[in-house]
Amino acid sequence: MIFTLVVHTAPYQSPTAATALRFARAVIAGGHQIHRVFFYRDGVYNANALASPPRDEQHIPQQWQQLAEEHQLDMVVCIAAAVRRGILNADEAKRYEKDGYNLAEGFELSGLGQLVEASLKSDRVITFGGQR
């Protein structure tokens, strides 16, 4: 089965981002495929290279990076949500005349079209978080 995951919550806002990460690991361990992980709304904070949790807490952004590297996952961050929240790659930092960028390695900025395309190519789209 082919899955797309959509993560709406920041890594330390609630347990939801960690649950999405555990689900992704379980999908892969079960022999299934993840077509794409799409980070939207506050979920874009999972792609922040500057996240520095205390040493006794999970480093969720880093764990997403490790999972993506190990399994060649496509991790897409909604560009509109990211820029609004100050998550920038080098190109967007230059475009907005910022001194630096903080999009973590392994993540890419792109639009909602990537979510639509992933939905069409996946058997299941699982959403983590959302509006309350």
Average pLDDT estimate for 109-126: 97
The SS3 call for residue 126 is strand
Please give the Cα distance from 67 to 89 (Å, whole number).
Answer: 20
Q: How far apart are CA 50 and CA 100, in angstroms?
A: 11
CB contact at 8 A, 100 and 93: yes
Decide if pLDDT at 131 tops 90.
no
Domain 2-128: CATH class, spelled out: alpha beta
Q: Please report which helix (H) or strand (E) contains residue 29, including its range.
A: helix 16-29
Q: Which of 78, 81, 115, 118 is catalytic?
A: 78
* Collapsed DSSP state (helix, strand, coil) of residue 75: strand
Sign for the CA dihedral angle at 96, 42, 74, 62 comes to positive
pTM: predicted TM-score of the whole model, two decimal places: 0.95
Chain segment 27-80, per-residue pLDDT in tens: 999 999 999 999 999 999 999 999 999 999 999 999 999 999 999 999 999 999
For 2-29, what is each residue's pLDDT tens digit? 999 999 999 998 999 999 999 999 999 9
CA–CA distance, 5 with 9 (Å, rounded to integer): 12
Q: Where are the domains of the chain?
A: 2-128
Integer Cα distance of 37 and 73 in angstroms: 7
Residue 130: the pLDDT is: 75
**Mean pLDDT within 68-96:** 97
Q: Is 78 known to be catalytic?
A: yes
Quick one: 113 exposed, middle or buried, by C-beta within 10 A (0-12, 13-18, 19+)? exposed
| Ordered strands of the 33-39 beta sheet | 107-110, 75-78, 33-39, 2-7, 124-128
